[in-house]
Structure 1
Amino acid sequence: MNSAKHSTLSWALTGFICVFFLTLLDQITKLLAIEQLKEQESFVLIKGVLELSYLENRGMAFGLLQGKIPYFIVMCLLFFAAVLYVFIKVPKNRYYAPLMTVLFVLLSGALGNFIDRVFRGYVVDFIYFCLIDFPTFNLADIYVVCGGILLLLFVCFLYRDDRDFDFLKPGRN
């Protein structure tokens, strides 16, 4: 096997393992929330700060677009295709490892909530930061938000050279 194929296979395996375990952790916590929190009072972790409280979210962040499951499914599929495209095109070297790690985390978050929408018809949320009355969320949401912030920081401060994303241009290998 040549080194380019080996490198791609190594990156793919690393990405698969990362996405698998992060998504599995998200799904396990959601199952625990269903089993332990559904139809129960909130479980206070830190009084006045953090609670576990079961919520079925049929929309997206902040309850927007309620009941638009087909829309979310299409958007997720497009996102999955975009991540696959970037994975195929990105040079498999250390310079792009942070970018790929963030994409794997974002993919895990999107996949975790995608699974909920397809198989349950809603997303299970259970973490409530009551100190600031923040909307209830889950691990997949944390992956998406943290991954999105890191991606923005990477694009602004790490991958600033105009040539850093040349690999995405059509016709480039």
Structure 2
Amino acid sequence: MPIYICAILLMIAADQAVKYWAFTSLQAQQTIPLINGVFHLTYIENRGAAFSLFAQFDSRWIFVVLAIVITVAIFTAIYRNMLQTQLGCWSLILVAAGALGNAIDRVARGFVVDMFDFRLIHFPVFNVADIFICVGGVLFVLYFMFQHKETSEAEK
């Protein structure tokens, strides 16, 4: 369990460091084209969920409480050995780190700082915590698919 806590703290630190840089340096410039028309660093204040969903509502505290509940549920599942493999554990650790990273922004600033802007495909601007959440989610789906397949084969 301590390794998971250390990993979450390191991921949150990385997320917050990038957001701090964007908040202090990128905000004044608004956008820096790294590959013009393809990939930019663009300062955005996201008041919604991932990829600015629900931005029209003042849902800051709902997302903070949700992040805490999700993290407690993840640690409970890991502590009770409900996940059979390291893939299952690490996928959810990524989700928890991302959720907590964005929750810190919501509490400290009232919004989440986003900065990665793939303009070529018109993808919503996102941040490091969003990457953790998405990668963790994909890995958890893979874990679930393979775990379910192994369980089904074992029952035959």
1:135 aligned to which of 99, 124, 132:
124
TM-score by length of 2: 0.89
Q: Is the 8 A contact 2:115 2:126 kept in 1?
A: yes
Partner Cα distance (1:28, 1:65) in 2: 25
Tell me the alpha carbon deviations over residues 63-83 of structure 1, each in whole angstroms, 9 at most, x when there is no partner.
222221121122112201211
1:42 aligned to which of 31, 36, 42:
31
Partner Cα distance (1:107, 1:62) in 2: 17
Amino acid at match of 1:85: T
Which is worse superposed, 115-124 or 36-45? 36-45
Structure 2, unmatched stretches of 5+, are none
Match of 2:74 in 1: 83
Deviation (angstroms), 1:160:
3.0
Deviation (angstroms), 1:29:
0.2
Q: Is the 8 A contact 1:90 1:96 kept in 2?
A: no
Partner Cα distance (1:52, 1:20) in 2: 25
Q: Is it true that 1:148 corresponds to 2:137 in the alignment?
A: yes
Q: How does 1:32-111 map to 2 (within 5 A)?
A: 32-66=21-55, 67-90=58-81, 96-111=85-100
Tell me the alpha carbon deviations over residues 69-127 of structure 1, each in whole angstroms, 9 at most, x when there is no partner.
121122112201211210111169xx511111111111110110010011111000011
Match of 1:126 in 2: 115
Q: Is it true that 1:115 corresponds to 2:95 in the alignment?
A: no
Q: Secondary structure at the match of 2:66?
A: helix
Partner Cα distance (1:91, 1:64) in 2: 31
Matched-pair identity in %:
35
Match of 2:15 in 1: 26
**How many residues align structurally?**
150
Q: Secondary structure at the match of 1:146?
A: helix
CA-atom RMSD in angstroms: 1.8
Residue 46 and residue 62 in structure 1: after superposition, are their counterparts in 2 closer, same or farther (change >3 A)? Answer: same
Amino acid at match of 2:43: Y
Partner Cα distance (1:61, 1:111) in 2: 13
Partner Cα distance (1:51, 1:112) in 2: 22
Which has the greater radius of gyration? 1
